[in-house]
Amino acid sequence: MSTAPLFLLDTLPAAGAARLEGPEGRHAATVKRLRPGEAVLLSDGRGGLAHAVVDAAGRDTVDLTITGRADADPPSPRVLLAQALVKGDRGELAVELATEAGVDGILPWRAARCVARWEDGPRGEKALARWRGTVREAAKQARRPWQPVVEEPVSTAVLAGRVAAADLAVVLHEAASARLADLPLPPRGELLLVVGPEGGITDGELEALVAAGARPVRLGPEVLRASTAAAVALGALGVLTARWG
């Protein structure tokens, strides 16, 4: 038996009737082809989760009855991913996989060796919108009541400030001697995970992040792609902390 599909609403009704309309309604009616009696999940992306049953389906709307409501606690510790910009579909793959693996927030990083630049203006805004749209759809696919927030892109200097503010910051680096499993991981607060670009993190960037308090680590003997490293690390963190408890 498959899990009920999840749809996003700006505000969840506490009880009674609800309606899916707009893009969510069209998707539910024409792609999912929901029919009366089928179960669905509704979320506001901020921890709210409602169980509902389909009453009627129109051309691009679905009418529902709320049957239950809950508020999910956020995972702890919170994992913020600083993902270096990756060119083309690889960047969207990186945030998609990270979202499915449970990341709580994404910070696009303009690292020195990024091929993608995301300059200020329409082109950069379009690229950021693609990441946000990818994260939204991945959160729905994973049935996540908490949708990760994709922030505005940052420079290395700004990232160093975020490193200093985190309870723990780790930089995935192929030359690191320490393993992620060797670190004392915080049970709560914020854990900042830094993933560099395909060309690697420069010595200057690594020095700046380490000076701010980051710990270089490696996950294993293999060198991972920039698009897959975060998902692998998040899986490890799910086991090493209480996030999957």
Instruction: Answer with the one of 71, 92, 120 that is the final residue of a domain.
Output: 71
> Phi and psi dihedrals of 202, rounded to 5?
-75, 160
Enter the DSSP assignment of 155. -
Q: Rounded to an integer, what distance in angstroms lies between the CA atom of residue 89 and that of residue 212?
A: 31
Domain CATH code at residue 125 = 3.40.1280.10
Q: What pLDDT, on a 0 to 100 scale, did the predictor assign at position 172?
A: 96
| Each residue's pLDDT tens digit, 30-86 | 999 999 999 999 999 999 999 999 999 998 999 999 999 999 999 999 999 999 999
Phi/psi for 184 (5° steps) reads -75, 100
Residues 113, 233 within the same domain: yes
Q: How far is CA 49 from CA 25, 52, 67, 143, 159, in A?
A: 18, 10, 11, 10, 33
**Domain check: are 64 and 131 in the same one?**
no
Dihedral-angle region of residue 88 (phi above 0 means left; psi in -120 to 50 means alpha; beta otherwise): left
pLDDT in tens, 109-167: 999 999 888 888 888 899 999 999 999 999 999 999 999 999 999 999 999 999 999 99
Position 78 scores a pLDDT of 97
Predicted confidence at residue 1, as pLDDT, reads 52
User: In terms of residue numbers, what domain contains 52?
Assistant: 6-71
Cα Rg of the chain (Å, integer): 20
pTM: 0.92
**The domain boundary residue, chosen from 43, 71, 99:** 71
Looking at 29, 48, 71, the residue that finishes a domain is: 71
Say whether both 138 and 50 belong to one domain.
no
